[in-house]
């Protein structure tokens, strides 16, 4: 069998408005939630206002806060900290009919700003919408599948896939940058679905991080492994994980590769190198909302001088991103 071809490996969002109508409580009663985002969300629903209408009312009072910022506040992605934001909270209490200080008194602890403070469980809820029942990840991890990296926020994922002369995926090389959403996070769990259940073995080499556990289920074509950071992260800390996954010898040609991203990331790059002895005749990128959904946003891709193609979505929302191809030459 020919040796795998290994060319050099290259080194937010809109918002969801609240429902226009929601369950109402007895008028003017303060929220009973004990965190700012929960209290804000509860009071907003009770008022029946959307984020757009709240934004409009604030503008009439001379307070400029975008609907996106309001969305982040009520979803726990960030908290008001600047002077203008704190003034907005005071006005929101009045607009929503709350007692003075009902929301302001909950702003007792500072939190890192931005997307990286995604609330615990957001990724898990999103993953449950994307994965089909009985998916390999669910079978391998059981109930823990829906707690998959729930305390980490993915900032960027760069993935390089190498095919051999038989048209089989021989290597995955991944660089993953994450930020801790909670104190004490010490590892990332990686998962790869292999496209041939006859794959005899896999080998993981970690260049940045430390391999702690590997679970390979040949009958599922699934490899799950834990990579430790070497220290517990504090909330807001970032970590980089680099690894390669080499796949044992196979003879069933591959025809696609895709990655599930439960929640939006700042950057995702998928780069695929084809062996010069087995070039594809057709290549296209695509997106799917869930594992059982139809491919959409299909667009043709053209090989470059290195016999490679890539996708790098300008706006990387949650879902499944992939590249598929048809190869020249007979199956081996």
As given in the structure block, the two tokens for residue 68 are 């996106």
What pairing do the DSSP bridges indicate for beta strands 238-247 and 152-163?
unpaired
116 has a pLDDT exceeding 50: no
**Predicted pLDDT at 141:** 66
Question: Between 100 and 59, whose confidence is greater?
Answer: 59
Q: pLDDT for 69-101, tens place per residue?
A: 888 888 887 888 777 788 888 899 999 998 887
What pairing do the DSSP bridges indicate for beta strands 152-163 and 222-233?
unpaired
Question: Quick one: DSSP state of residue 151?
Answer: T
| Residue range 134-138: mean pLDDT, rounded | 66
**Predicted pLDDT at 11:** 39
Q: pLDDT for 181-205, tens place per residue?
A: 989 999 999 989 888 888 899 999 9
pTM for the full model? 0.62
Q: pLDDT for 263-291, tens place per residue?
A: 888 999 999 999 999 999 999 999 998 87
Question: Quick one: DSSP state of residue 38?
Answer: H
State whether residue 140 is helix, strand or coil: helix
State whether residue 129 is helix, strand or coil: helix
Within 13 Å of residue 274, how many CA atoms lie on the same side as its CB? 29
| Residue range 160-173: mean pLDDT, rounded | 95
3-class SS letters over 50-100: CHHHHHHHHHHCCCCCCHHHHHHHHHCCCCCCCHHHHHHHHHHHHHCCCCC
């Amino acid at each position: 069998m020919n040796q795998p071809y290994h060319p050099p490996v290259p080194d937010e969002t809109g918002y969801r408005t609240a429902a226009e109508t929601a369950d109402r409580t007895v008028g003017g009663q303060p929220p009973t939630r004990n965190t700012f985002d929960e209290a804000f969300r509860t009071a907003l629903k009770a008022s029946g206002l959307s984020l757009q209408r709240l934004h409009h009312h604030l503008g009439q009072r001379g307070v400029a806060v975008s609907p996106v910022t309001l969305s982040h506040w009520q979803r726990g992605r960030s908290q008001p900290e600047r002077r203008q934001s704190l003034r907005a909270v005071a006005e929101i209490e009045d607009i929503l009919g709350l007692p003075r200080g009902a929301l302001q008194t909950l702003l007792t602890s500072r939190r890192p700003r931005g997307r990286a403070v995604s609330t615990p469980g957001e990724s898990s809820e999103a993953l449950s919408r994307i994965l089909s029942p009985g998916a390999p990840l669910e079978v391998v991890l059981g109930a823990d599948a829906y707690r998959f990296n729930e305390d980490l926020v993915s900032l960027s994922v760069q993935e390089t896939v190498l095919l051999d002369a038989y048209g089989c995926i021989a290597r995955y090389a991944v660089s993953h940058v994450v930020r801790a959403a909670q104190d004490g996070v010490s590892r990332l769990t990686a998962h790869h679905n292999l496209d041939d259940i006859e794959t005899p073995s896999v080998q993981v080499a970690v260049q940045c991080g430390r391999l702690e556990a590997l679970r390979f289920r040949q009958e599922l074509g699934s490899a799950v492994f834990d990579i430790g950071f070497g220290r517990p992260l504090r909330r807001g800390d970032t970590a980089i994980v680099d690894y390669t996954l080499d796949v044992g010898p196979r003879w069933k040609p591959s025809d696609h590769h895709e990655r599930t991203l439960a929640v939006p990331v700042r950057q995702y790059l998928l780069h695929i190198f084809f062996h010069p002895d087995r070039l594809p005749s057709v290549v296209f990128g695509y997106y799917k909302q869930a594992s059982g959904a139809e491919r959409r946003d299909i667009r043709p891709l053209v090989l470059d001088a290195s016999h490679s193609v890539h996708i790098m979505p300008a706006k990387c929302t949650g879902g499944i991103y992939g590249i598929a191809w048809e190869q020249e030459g007979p199956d081996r």
